Amino acid sequence: MKRIWVLAVIVVLVLVHGVAFGQPLDRSTINRWADSMEEIERWGEAQADLYGDDDDFDDSDLYESFARAARDNAEIRRIIGRHGFSSGDQWAQLGSRIMHAYGSMQMGDHAPELQQEMRRQMDEIDRLPYLTPEQKQMMRQEIQRSMGMMEDFHDAPPEDVAAVRANRGRLDRLFEDD
């Protein structure tokens, strides 16, 4: 179960939509959210069918996936309530903000090298004689999509990124793959 969440987190970090900016991020808030995620992961590992088919997790909208999990599962609602969240929407919005800022922080650390590498790959595609024009176009589109997603990281509020950076160790442990 944790691997599914970690994979989704990696894919979704650049695709987060519907982010709310109501309450400021601080150590306590981030820790409450991380505590709830750890408890949900522990509980989820014991549930063979927590989310049913893996296709039920919408990796294009993390907020909606979290909110749906809270709406559809009473135990998740109880867990997030125990951690001080008044609703699944509040918990999902906060989680989206944390993960968006985390992705921004991670990307910010490596953005110049990644952008340079993607530009190099774009230049190299045309020199690959074994690819058809359609394959080359598909590869170019994928690289352009990735470059666009990287740009999305830059819109995380600086104060959210600063709060997440101050809690980096905790979040790194939460998101690491077993």
- Domain ranges, ordered by start, for the chain: 2-105+158-175
Q: Which amino acid is at 125?
A: I
- The CA–CA distances, whole Å, from 117 to 11, 15, 26, 167 equal 19, 21, 34, 29
- Predicted confidence band of residue 1 (pLDDT cuts 50, 70, 90): very low
Q: What is the pTM of this model?
A: 0.67
User: In the predicted model, is pLDDT for residue 7 greater than 70?
Assistant: no
pLDDT digits (tens, 9 = 90+) for 107-145: 876 777 877 888 888 888 888 889 899 998 999 888 888
Q: Which two tokens stand for residue 75?
A: 């135990």
Encode pLDDT of 49-100 as tens digits. Answer: 545 544 455 445 667 777 888 888 889 899 999 999 999 899 989 998 998 8
Nearest one of 45, 46, 87, 44 to 67, comparing CA atoms: 87
